[in-house]
């Protein structure tokens, strides 16, 4: 039996910020909620 689920939110925790801005933009364009640490929010241009 196949169990498909829709992602509604994401908690993002990373070691390196490489490519993170692009990922956040994709999540945002899909209407997903995401949680970033304040220090990550301040370093991204989103």
| pLDDT tens-place string over residues 12-45 | 777 888 888 888 888 889 888 877 776 666 677 6
Per the CB < 8 A criterion, the answer to whether 35 and 14 are in contact is no
What is the span of the domain harbouring residue 26? 9-43
Q: Is residue 15 part of a domain?
A: yes
Number of domains in the chain: 1
Q: Quote the pTM value.
A: 0.60
Q: Is residue 3 part of a domain?
A: no
For residue 38, what pLDDT is reported? 63
Ranges assigned E (strand) in 1-46: 9-11, 33-35
Q: Is residue 2 part of a domain?
A: no
Per the CB < 8 A criterion, the answer to whether 44 and 38 are in contact is no
């Amino acid at each position: 039996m196949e169990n498909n689920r829709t992602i509604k939110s994401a908690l993002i925790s990373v070691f390196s910020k490489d490519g993170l801005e692009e990922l956040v933009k994709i999540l945002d364009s899909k209407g997903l909620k995401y949680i970033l640490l304040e220090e990550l929010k301040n370093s991204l241009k989103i």
